[in-house]
Amino acid sequence: MYDGMYRQPVSRPDPGCIIILLDRSDSMKAPWAGTGASLAEGAALVLNNILLDLCITATKEVNAPVRHYFDVGVFGYGARVTTPDEGVESAFGGPLAGRGLVPLPELANNPLAVREEPSVDQMSVSAKIPIWVEPVRGYRTPMCEAIAVAGGHVFDWADAHPNSFPPIVINITDGMVTDSPYDGVALSEWVTRLTAIETRDGPTLFFNVFLSPTQAPEIIFPTNPAGLPAPGPDLFAMSSPLPHPMVENARADGLDVRPGARGLAFNVGRSTLLKILQIGTRVPDRSF
């Protein structure tokens, strides 16, 4: 299916692009089972950890600058902080507030804060880590608008980086879309528009992670939508198939990934969310 695609390693001449779409709807206030925190707090914790992981990967030596391996964006949809209403905005705070795609070295040097945070898996002790995203929730789920906003950034980025690994867009949500159709276009069509943006290495990848407040069985990288509760089948249809490097990453992490698996994780817990994001952002790195 992806013959000859998704092989370009990320490097400083050809960095990658990672965009997270983060649900900030009111339902994210629900407690995340087994974590002692809400879905919004848990998602922000995981996001900050994955951003830290990216910075660590790009750190090579004492007194050497963090390498520009990625441009990174996080867009929240639902409640907005800049204006008290519903919409889509950059989820970065502090020095990066309002910024779209941020080069990784700049991200590393400009956290919102550095503070003690609980560990994601609750197995290890808490640690002081940099924070870039704070939990926010309210209003509804304008997922179409989020994709429309992200698509503009993805288009400009792909135009400027034709040789790079294709953009990776990961949507984290706990509910159903509430703004479809947006601007007269249904959610599925917005996703089609987004994934039509491509580099020479292939089309944009769109992955989905569905959070559940209850401890329901996790479904990770399914090959068909059968048995998925709503909105699982719709998310399955919108999710890109996993490209080969990510299939290898997943198998290396002990996951059973079959041919044709989609980039969808359903009813995931907090530590699984981190694992999914790690798999989804670890691209070929032979030319680092």
Site residues, another protein (CB under 8 A): 11-13, 52, 55-57, 59-68, 105, 108, 114, 128, 130, 285-288
* CA–CA gap between residue 30 and residue 38 (Å, rounded): 5
State the Cα torsion 254-130-45-84 to the nearest 10°.
-140
Pick 59 or 188: Cβ nearer another protein: 59
* CA–CA gap between residue 93 and residue 109 (Å, rounded): 13
Least Å from the CB of residue 179 to another protein: 38
Least Å from the CB of residue 49 to another protein: 11
Least Å from the CB of residue 62 to another protein: 5
Pick 251 or 258: Cβ nearer another protein: 251
Pick 98 or 286: Cβ nearer another protein: 286
Pick 117 or 198: Cβ nearer another protein: 117
Pick 10 or 197: Cβ nearer another protein: 10
Distance of CA 278 to the CA centre of its chain: 10
- ∠ CA 143-71-198, rounded to 5°: 65
**Helix-strand-coil percent breakdown of the chain, rounded to 5?**
30, 25, 45
* CA–CA gap between residue 121 and residue 45 (Å, rounded): 11
Lookup: tokens for 186: 């249904």
Least Å from the CB of residue 228 to another protein: 35
Least Å from the CB of residue 80 to another protein: 30
Residue 59's identity, in one-letter code, is T
- ∠ CA 18-33-275, rounded to 5°: 30
Contact by Cβ (8 Å): 167, 154 = yes
* CA–CA gap between residue 126 and residue 81 (Å, rounded): 28
Pick 67 or 262: Cβ nearer another protein: 67
Least Å from the CB of residue 64 to another protein: 7
Lookup: tokens for 161: 């980086």
Least Å from the CB of residue 244 to another protein: 16
Pick 159 or 288: Cβ nearer another protein: 288
State the Cα torsion 96-97-100-103 to the nearest 10°.
10
